[in-house]
Copies of this chain bind each other. A is one copy, B any other.
Amino acid sequence: MDISRRSVFFVSDSTAITAETLGHCLLAQFDHIKYDPITFPFIDTVEKAEKLVHQINIEAANTGLAPIVFSTLVSKEIRDKVKKSRGIFLDLFDTYLETLERELSVPSSHIVGRYHSLSDVNSYDVRIDAINYALGADDGTGTKEYDRADVILIGVSRAGKTPTCLYLGMQFGIYAANYPLTEEDLLGRRGEMPAVLLPFRPKLYGLTINPERLQKIRSQRRPNSRYASFSQCRLEVEAAEAFFEKWSIPYLNVTTMSVEEIASKVLHETNLGRRVW
């Protein structure tokens, strides 16, 4: 029995993305344990639930420890099956549905796979459109589409603009373009505003990054190049930050942030309303 490891099951009648999200959020609080995660999406019949229970019980027997089961199973019948396994059963619906039913004074619909499913075609279309928008207005291309943009991220090359734009589209339905501040923009024109950006000043939002981290990222792409040198990274970052200050453009240092954090901060600080939930 190795108490420094633990088997973790993520279980759902749908994608299991929510179960994974809540599980990881909780497990991130326990440092000293190594997890052996396994995901079981689409558990939508009693037969599948029974097979799963069997696997959980085998794992419990093999490790001598109860596996932790994070689940989002809408069907009470399926939930009750999985609950009888030898795992520690933490289910979102099991925990909260009764409280919500009581408070909202209505029964829940108990419809399997509803969240993350295409119940709302409109919000699906918005997200796809927003992703396509981000792809079309990436890296300074598609500048003629800037009137459609909710926000235009600007910053030096490899500051994280592209993934942030894609995430803003995918998660929030936000139309995000991006424009790379080139050496020519920053140093050649001495901080003049590029003409294509001028009409869109209120939509601009800056991303910056520490030169050390930028050097690492650029070195992966073009090792030993001038582009990836520390002096070049520092020069560009300093000029970009001066540019943000000069034009009073709000900006964010993303050095220690994940894509989700950057996107959330941008959404929060620009007061943009998200189009999809």
Contacts and interface: CB of A to CB of B under 8 A. Distances in A.
A66 interface: yes
Nearest to A20: B277
Given A109-B30, A109-B31, A258 B163 contact: no
Interface string A49-87: 000000000000000001010001010000000000000
Given A29-B93, A88-B103, A118 B171 contact: no
A127 interface: yes
Interface stretch (A9-17, A196-204, A226-234): A9-17
B264 A118 contact: no
B14 A97 contact: no
Q: How many protomers of this protein does the assembly include?
A: 2
A30 B20 CA distance: 22
A261 B117 contact: yes
Contacts of A93: 26, 29
A137 to B, nearest CB: 13
29 contacts: A17-B171, A17-B260, A20-B277, A21-B22, A22-B22, A26-B96, A28-B119, A29-B93, A29-B110, A29-B111, A30-B104, A30-B106, A32-B106, A33-B104, A37-B277, A41-B268, A95-B95, A116-B258, A116-B261, A117-B258, A118-B256, A118-B261, A124-B258, A128-B259, A129-B220, A135-B138, A135-B162, A166-B170, A170-B170
